[in-house]
Amino acid sequence: MVAPQPGQMPEQKLQLPPDWRSRLRQRLLARPDHRLDQRAEPRADQPTQSAPALQSAPALQAAPALQAAPALQAAAVLVPIIERAEAPTLLLTVRASHLRHHAGQISFPGGRLEAGDAGPAEAALRETEEELGIASRFVEPIGFLADRSVGTGFRITPVVALVQPGFTLQLGGGEVDQAFELPLAFAMATENYRSRRRMLRGVEREVWELPYGEHVVWGATARILAQLRDLLAGAGPGGGPEGGPEGSP
């Protein structure tokens, strides 16, 4: 586990709403939404307008038949919130440098859906155990964020989960170089995000970034974090209506 060195973390008081768990359980989607949003992505560095919370079902439901974007490969990531006694944290990974896609970037554990997966939640749990060695008994999936597409041809379903401490990280599969924890409150603070220009497949684009210590979270991972932030602030699982950087790696 890698943590920022003293002095690298911003000096600010980080707070979450006291009812953050119940907010997530009430506002997350109870089933995946594979209809890709055609609106401009909401800005990561600006708060979004609130929207009515979507009613969730008692249990997560299987994904409906995939019809929205047949050209995209289905993938899922786990958005793991570790319920540390001192404060909840998000578990992120640094992808191995030899990988074909997103090498060296910060991401959530996850990958493409395989034939044996019953749906995105099962795929995210399987990939998390393969990449990080966290058994499913430590993980409680509580809902979904709206799907996101990335330029490498994947449609990603984010599966938000609460993770109980007590697991032992075991990096495996050759896909992850390291893992680190980021305070959930830090990722929920709008002022911690910034916009930057990056060259993506030969085209300069404006992307979202979330710097934390020696790490810089950007692209699809930063967009998913912004979705989660907006959900806690009152927007729906797909984020608010504001336009902004594309941010897709």
Per-residue pLDDT of 106-124, as tens digits, reads 999 999 999 999 999 999 9
pTM, rounded to two decimals = 0.77
User: Would you say residue 40 has pLDDT above 80?
Assistant: no
Query: Averaged over 57-73, what is the pLDDT?
Result: 51
Highest mean pLDDT among 156-160, 173-177, 229-233: 156-160
Instruction: Write the DSSP assignment of 134-176 as a string of letters.
Output: --GGGEEEEEEPPPEEETTTEEEEEEEEEE-S-------TT-E
Distance from the Cα of residue 247 to its chain's centroid: 13
In the chain, % of residues over pLDDT 90: 53
Q: What is the pLDDT of residue 217?
A: 94
For 64-100, the three-class secondary structure string (H helix, E strand, C coil) is CCCCCCCCCEEEEEEEEEECCCCCCEEEEEEECCCCC
Q: What is the pLDDT of residue 205?
A: 66
Q: What is the pLDDT of residue 240?
A: 44
Q: What is the pLDDT of residue 202?
A: 62
